[in-house]
Copies of this chain bind each other. A is one copy, B any other.
Amino acid sequence: MSAENDQNGSTVRVVLDAMGGDYGPVETVKGAMRALESGNIEVILVGEKDSVEAELANYDLAGKPVRIVPSEGKIGDDEHPVRAMRSKPDSSILIANKLLKSGEADVLVSMGSTGASMAGAVLALGLLEGLDRPCIGGPFLGLAPRTVLVDMGSNIDCRPGMLLNFAALGMVFSRKFLEIPDPKVGLLSVGAETAKGNKQVQESHQLFADSHLNFVGNVEGMDFFTQKADVIVCDGFVGNILMKYTEGLGSALFPFLERELSSRMAPEDVRSFAASLWQMMNLPRTMGGPLFGVNGAVVLGHGSCKGGEVAGAINTATRYVNLGMVESMREELSKMNRQETPSNPS
């Protein structure tokens, strides 16, 4: 981390949706306490007062900058985000967003419903200028931890201009968060040649080539592992399928590993190997995924995250704030929109 990028000096105020995810508030509180041990942070836990307090009672809070802001109810994965937001205005994710919006917190972390977290953030914070939609991006594979994928699943049908915006956001993440000086951007397709690809890729290709991005052309499925591109761009349909496929594959490898390795390795070695392989396949679970494009710092985590993974997402969030990621993304979009519409003075 270079000194000029990283404003490590000031305390980062993290607001955590303590009710979110499959294991809130037990694991969210555990994750917050773990993150407090190492990071220069304050934590605001948003949730049902009694149950969060009961969890906190398990820890030694002496000198720990943690407090509760009460909320009522929670928006589940199975609810329609916008309808649920209307009927549950005091739910944990909405209160947490309000604290971010009002400036009481620097960054929001949520393991709750992705749809509700995104919709809540867009409604409370608004989008960066030039964007119609936010997107989720970041590295998604431990085997390729410096390759950024955008969009991970938030936008199913994407116009070429949307893909270009997402590419710019992913590029900023790569440059600042992963410290890759001039990130190469590739369009995910079925062949390296310009003509190869579906209609969407073909329509996007020229737009990418004309942009100021360091566009290396089309990349293919294997190029997540070849360093041909630092940022790989696809719509959320393909991104979601790749993410879930990889997760499923990681789990499906377990019985195979047990069968293949149990005769050659001690059981505890098999388990520890399986755990590290699983982590290789599930990077966003251990570090969360930033929500790109909203007017504020938001990091989302998988609903099934346990304490250590919640702490990982909080660490990502802290670094995201310290690096001034949102401001850099705002500047990048503004630069791109100036360049790409020279005749338009706005």
Contact = CB atoms under 8 A, between A and B. Distances in A.
Contact of A242 (B241, B253, B280): B241
Given A238-B241, A246-B249, 10 more contacts: A143-B249, A190-B236, A190-B241, A197-B237, A198-B237, A221-B246, A222-B251, A224-B252, A234-B241, A237-B238
Interface stretch (A48-56, A68-76, A257-265): A257-265
A22 interface: no
A308 to B, nearest CB: 20
B245 A221 contact: yes
Interface of A: 141, 143-144, 153, 156-157, 188-190, 197-199, 201, 220-226, 234-238, 240-249, 251-253, 256, 260-261, 264-266, 269, 273, 276-277, 280
Counting every copy of the chain, the complex holds: 2
Nearest to A158: B198
- Specify the main secondary structure of chain A where it touches its partner: helix
A135 to B, nearest CB: 14
A244 B266 CA distance: 34
Given A237-B190, A273-B261, A223 B248 contact: yes
7 contacts: A190-B236, A201-B237, A224-B248, A241-B242, A260-B277, A261-B273, A264-B265
